[in-house]
Structure 1
Amino acid sequence: MIKDTLKKLIIRDLEKLKLEIEAYQNEDKIWHIEKSILNSAGNLCLHLVGNLNTYIGAEFGNTGYVRNREDEFALKNVPRAELMGKVEGTILMIEKTFDLISDEQLNEKYPAEIILKDATTEYFFVHLAMHLGYHLGQINYHRRLLDN
């Protein structure tokens, strides 16, 4: 049951991420940083895609995804269309991978080394969904601030 809920919520928020990136009136603003705002919407988008593809896709879907976390924050001016493609690919990965995960796996310790020691897979997936929501809110605020 929680697996289906998490799948739906993560896909919902990834769809919202696409809408937020599309909604920027000026594509250049996706990459704008200023003063103490160190992460642009584009970098947060790359970070979210990298995070989910690493901890869900590579670990449970055997996608072969290899994360370059430094690039998630270092790359600049990736075209909006490319960002959208990465988010859409992540949605497809979530749709496929969650169907492969058993209830037993959710109750087991997350199989890879993570900062949350001894966390179950279910707990870590809830953490990932909340992490997505947190950064989605930052992107929404960033866009509204810059578009006005």
Structure 2
Amino acid sequence: MITESLKSLYTRDLNKLKTEIESYQNEEALWKIDKNILNSAGNLCLHLVGNLNHFIGAILGNSGYIRNRELEFSLKNIPRTELILQIEKTIEVIHSSLDQLSEDDLKKEYSFEALGYPMTTEYFLIHLFGHLSYHLGQINYHRRLLDAK
């Protein structure tokens, strides 16, 4: 079933996110912005964790997670250890949530039109993985540009 592949891919890239956050030589650089780089790696990390915990954990897994998207971009200077812990918990939430889904659940319309149009749950889960990968690439680039300064 596709959920096994999705769990594997989400786990792979969330572990890459963890590695990126751990790879900053200067922890303060996680929160740097510069010129046209408007989102820090720390805020992108919070955004990814919030996004996945909301759309997968709360909506599909009934985790009870309450998202505050504004804080994902406004909080600053969260310790690296806290970011890592949040990533690890997100992996657990994704596994437990996806384990609850049947093949029929994946073919059903996702309960919320997050992109402004109806889509299947399977489609939206693939979209969310692309969103994770996109921001993971931004974090990698951010680290290589701003961690050395």
Alignment TM-score > 0.5, same fold? yes
The residue type equivalent to 1:42 in the other structure is G
The residue type equivalent to 2:136 in the other structure is L
Tell me the equivalent position of 2:132.
132
* Cα pair 2:28 2:77 within 8 Å, conserved: yes
Answer yes or no: is 1:60 the counterpart of 2:60: yes
Tell me the equivalent position of 1:18.
18
TM (norm. structure 1) is 0.97
In the alignment, the residues of structure 1 paired with residue 83 and residue 145 of structure 2 have an alpha-carbon distance, to the nearest angstrom, of 21
1:95 positional shift: 1.5
| Long gaps (5+) in structure 2 | none
1:68 positional shift: 0.2
1:115 positional shift: 2.0
**1:44-95, Cα deviation, whole Å (9 max, x unpaired):** 0000000000000001211100000000000011110111111011011111
In the alignment, the residues of structure 1 paired with residue 114 and residue 20 of structure 2 have an alpha-carbon distance, to the nearest angstrom, of 29
| Long gaps (5+) in structure 1 | none
In the alignment, the residues of structure 1 paired with residue 116 and residue 107 of structure 2 have an alpha-carbon distance, to the nearest angstrom, of 15
1:41 positional shift: 0.2
In the alignment, the residues of structure 2 paired with residue 35 and residue 115 of structure 1 have an alpha-carbon distance, to the nearest angstrom, of 29
1:96 positional shift: 1.1
Tell me the equivalent position of 1:90.
90
TM (norm. structure 2) is 0.96
* Equivalent residue runs for 1:1-148 within 5 Å: 1-148=1-148
1:98 positional shift: 1.0
In the alignment, the residues of structure 2 paired with residue 91 and residue 114 of structure 1 have an alpha-carbon distance, to the nearest angstrom, of 21
* Cα pair 2:7 2:95 within 8 Å, conserved: yes
Which of structure 1's runs of 4+ aligned residues deviate more than 4 A? none
State percent identity of aligned pairs: 61
In the alignment, the residues of structure 1 paired with residue 86 and residue 21 of structure 2 have an alpha-carbon distance, to the nearest angstrom, of 12
In the alignment, the residues of structure 2 paired with residue 10 and residue 107 of structure 1 have an alpha-carbon distance, to the nearest angstrom, of 20
The residue type equivalent to 1:87 in the other structure is I
* Cα pair 2:113 2:119 within 8 Å, conserved: no
In the alignment, the residues of structure 2 paired with residue 7 and residue 116 of structure 1 have an alpha-carbon distance, to the nearest angstrom, of 25
The residue type equivalent to 2:144 in the other structure is R
Identify which range, 113-122 or 97-106, moves more after superposition: 113-122
After superposition, the CA RMSD in angstroms is 0.9
1:113 positional shift: 3.5
